[in-house]
C-alpha cells in the first residue's frame, strides 16, 4: 500500500481507512488459521505442527515474487519501497529474545493482539507485558543507544551482501522454501498427530513446488535489477535509485499531509 500512497493514488485519510481494513482482514485470517491459539503456535517447537513456518515462509515468498514481477512489469517503483536499516548485533539479540518470549508466552506480538481480541486472558497478559517492556526499553534507551546502533549496515538487501542479482536470490529462496516444506512435512508425519494435520494431495503439492521453482528461475534469467524499464529511468535521471515507472498518470499527493521523515510503508 505504501508505494501506491507515495504515487498519490489516494490521500492520507483514505490510507488510514485502508490500513484498518487490511488489519481487520489480516487478524481475521490469523484467527481462522488457528494462530490465536498458543498451543497451535508453540507446536512448532515440539516438532508437531509447522503451520507457523509454512504460513510465514509462504507470505515471504509470495511478497518477494510479487514485488519483483511487479517491478518488471512496471507496476511497482522499487525505489519507493522502504528498506529497514540493518543493525546486525542488536537485531540478532532481539530475534533471540523474541524467540524465547515466543516459547515462554506462546505468542508473537501480532498473534497476541489476535488472541486478546478473541477474549483470551493470556493474550491480554502477553500484550500488557509487551507494552511494559517497550516502556522500560524507552526509558533505558540512552544507556542502550550504543548497542542499538551496533553493526550498522544500512538498508541492504541479500543481493547487496552476496553481490549477486535479485533474480538469483529469488530462485534460491524458492528452492529453499520447497526443501523446507518437504523436510517439515516429514518431521510432522514423524512427531505430529496425523488427525490434526491438514491433508493435501501429493499432486497439488508437486505442482505448487514446480511452479514456485519455475517462477524463481524466470526471475533469475530475466534479472529484475536490469529490466529495460529501470534502464530507461536511469538514462532519464541518473541520480534516481533503481526503480520502475508507475503505470498511468499518478494523482497529486494529498495537500493535507506531507512525509517529512520516511520511516517505512
Is 172 buried (19+), middle (13-18) or exposed (0-12) by CB count in 10 A? middle
Cα dihedral angle (74, 75, 78, 83), rounded to 10 degrees?
Answer: -170
Q: How many domains does the chain have?
A: 1
Distance CA 241, CA 259 (A): 18
115 in any annotated domain: no
214 in any annotated domain: yes
In the block, residue with C-alpha cell 540512552: 142
Helical H segments across the chain, by residue range: 2-6, 12-32, 38-42, 51-73, 88-105, 109-117, 121-148, 158-162, 166-191, 202-222, 228-236
Q: Give the global pTM.
A: 0.74
150 in any annotated domain: no
Compute mean pLDDT per 10 residues along the chain, 265 residues long, and list them. Answer: 67 85 90 88 90 90 93 82 89 92 88 91 92 94 92 89 92 95 91 76 88 95 74 46 40 45 49
Q: Containing domain of residue 203, as a range? A: 47-83+157-242
Phi, psi of 54 (to 5 degrees): -65, -45
117 in any annotated domain: no
198 in any annotated domain: yes
127 in any annotated domain: no
Amino acid at each position: 500500500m505504501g508505494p501506491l500512497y507515495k504515487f498519490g493514488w489516494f490521500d492520507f485519510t483514505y490510507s488510514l481507512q485502508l490500513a484498518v481494513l487490511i488489519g481487520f482482514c489480516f487478524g481475521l485470517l490469523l484467527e481462522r488459521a488457528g494462530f490465536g491459539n498458543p498451543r497451535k503456535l508453540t507446536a512448532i517447537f515440539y516438532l508437531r505442527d509447522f503451520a507457523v513456518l509454512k504460513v510465514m515462509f509462504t507470505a515471504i515468498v509470495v511478497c518477494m515474487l510479487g514485488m519483483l514481477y511487479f517491478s518488471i512489469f512496471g507496476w511497482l517503483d522499487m525505489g519507493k519501497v522502504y528498506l529497514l536499516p540493518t543493525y546486525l548485533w542488536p537485531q540478532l539479540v532481539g530475534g533471540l529474545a523474541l524467540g524465547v518470549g515466543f516459547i515462554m508466552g506462546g505468542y508473537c506480538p501480532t498473534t497476541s493482539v489476535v488472541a486478546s481480541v478473541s477474549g483470551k486472558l493470556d493474550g491480554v497478559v502477553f500484550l500488557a507485558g509487551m507494552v511494559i517492556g517497550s516502556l522500560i526499553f524507552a526509558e533505558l534507551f540512552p544507556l542502550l543507544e550504543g548497542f542499538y546502533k551496533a553493526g550498522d549496515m544500512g538498508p541492504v538487501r541479500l543481493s547487496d551482501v552476496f553481490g549477486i542479482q535479485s533474480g538469483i536470490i529469488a530462485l534460491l529462496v524458492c528452492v529453499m522454501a520447497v526443501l523446507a516444506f518437504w523436510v517439515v512435512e516429514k518431521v510432522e508425519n514423524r512427531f505430529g498427530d496425523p488427525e490434526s494435520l491438514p491433508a493435501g494431495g501429493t499432486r497439488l503439492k508437486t505442482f505448487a513446488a514446480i511452479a514456485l521453482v519455475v517462477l524463481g528461475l524466470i526471475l533469475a534469467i530475466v534479472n529484475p535489477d536490469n529490466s529495460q524499464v529501470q534502464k530507461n529511468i536511469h538514462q532519464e535521471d541518473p541520480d534516481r535509485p533503481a526503480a520502475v515507472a508507475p503505470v498511468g498518470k499518478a494523482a497529486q499527493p494529498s495537500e493535507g499531509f506531507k512525509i517529512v521523515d520516511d520511516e517505512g510503508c
